[in-house]
Amino acid sequence: MESTRNDLIELLEKNKDDYVSGQELSRQLNISRTAVWKHMKELEKDGYMIEAVSRKGYRITQFPSKLSPNTIQWGLHTNWIGKKIIHREQVDSTQIIANQLAREGAEHGTIVIADEQTAGKGRMSRPWHSAKGKGIWMSIVLRPNMMPQHAPQLTLLTATVLAECIDHYMGVRPSIKWPNDIFIHGKKTAGILTEMQAEQDRIQYVVLGIGINVNQDEHDIPPELRSIATSVKQETNQEWDLRESIQHILSGFEVSYEHYMANGFAHIKQTWEKYGYRIGETVTVETLQRTWQTVIVGIAEDGALLIKEEDGNVDKLYSAEIQW
Ligand code: BTN
């Protein structure tokens, strides 16, 4: 039943600008025309809008906004990312599933996405709150042909894709806080977790985890995080369609990834620095050895933060507490 329905959606999607006759659908799916009609009624209950015109046939005019591989792929014009989508209503963490699928050979560009995560993972083993239907909780499996030491560039690339999507599509300018947090009006809105399996000179796979707080109201954010975390909705006073937002991110990601693979890191560096948080400003930095004031100037090819010391020298910072 489920698989016939998916085949039906696929057939209608392939011919989305045209009507497909009941006869043709019944022939291709090997079911009666009455069964085709019943499936259409079920699709309408699921939120699909179907136009039925006598002597022409059926056409989907609108997909439901709830997430599924079909609804995400409808209108997604990418060549390889999201060709395979695994969607679950509830998971512990999309990272766990994506890592497992990658170990089992999942193809480059596979997406794992969930409405809700019960054990979402953040960087440095922190939990990541992933309330049901309120944000984008997704992991992308990549098989890049590159050296493992360049993997941090993929995280920086992803940060620029998220920043551009929030800026251009959602209409509010975010900043990227080193290494890869997305902030809006001084509060964290999205984060990226990169996990990798590699040999010395070759990446087997990378799992890029993206978490974006999209439609949380203030009361959806745990009280202890309210002063430091926000959602796009709170900062734009507008509810966002998750399906469309995901499509923007996936197409932006594919374009940016291909440009990076063909031309290198320069464009990512430029975009990262355009959105970089407090670039050109003085901050206090603390390492195990010392605490001092320095000016942030940008990002290096290896993901280090570039800082300008008092003597004018530009240094690289790999890990430090920064008092933003
Ligand atoms: C961070 O800023 O600490 C990174 C947060 C990453 C969260 C995403 S949500 C989808 C994917 N699954 C997880 O468990 N974590 C990442």
SS (H, E, C) 233-289: HHHHCCCCCHHHHHHHHHHHHHHHHHHHHHHCCHHHHHHHHHHECCCCCEEEEECCC
SS3 for 323? Answer: strand
Report pLDDT for 270: 96
Nearest-angstrom CA–CA distance, 122 and 127: 5
Residue 163 has pLDDT above 90, yes or no: yes
Among 12-21, 218-227, 255-264, which is the least confidently predicted range?
A: 12-21
* CATH (one of 1.10.10.60, 3.40.50.1370, 3.30.930.10, 3.40.50.720) for 69-275: 3.30.930.10
Residue carrying structure tokens 């953040």: 122
E strand residue ranges, 143-264: 175-177, 181-184, 187-199, 202-213
* Ligand 1 lined by 211 (C-beta under 6 Å): yes
Span 256-284, mean pLDDT? 96
Residue percentage of the chain with pLDDT more than 70? 99
Residue 2 has pLDDT above 70, yes or no: no
CA-nearest of 289, 181, 172 to 238 is: 172
Nearest-angstrom CA–CA distance, 167 and 64: 25
- 56: Cβ–Cβ under 8 A, 6 or more apart, which residues? 19, 21
From atom 2 of ligand 1, which residue's Cα is the shortest distance away? 191
Spacing, Cα 218 to ligand 1 middle (Å)? 20
Report pLDDT for 1: 59
| pLDDT per position as a tens digit, 244-256 | 999 999 999 999 9
Spacing, Cα 190 to ligand 1 middle (Å)? 9
Average per-residue pLDDT in the chain?
Answer: 94
Peptide bond into 144 cis (omega under 30): no
Enumerate the domain spans of the chain: 2-62, 69-275, 282-323
* Ligand 1 lined by 120 (C-beta under 6 Å): yes
Reported residue count of the chain is 324
ipTM of the complex: 0.99
CATH code given to domain 2-62:
1.10.10.10
From atom 3 of ligand 1, which residue's Cα is the shortest distance away? 122
The residue type of 94 is T
Q: What's the DSSP call for residue 168? A: I
Q: How sure is the predictor about 268, in pLDDT bands with cuts at 50, 70 and 90?
A: very high
Find out if CATH 2.30.30 is the number for domain 282-323: yes
From atom 15 of ligand 1, which residue's Cα is the shortest distance away? 121
Q: How sure is the predictor about 222, in pLDDT bands with cuts at 50, 70 and 90?
A: very high
* Ligand 1 lined by 234 (C-beta under 6 Å): no
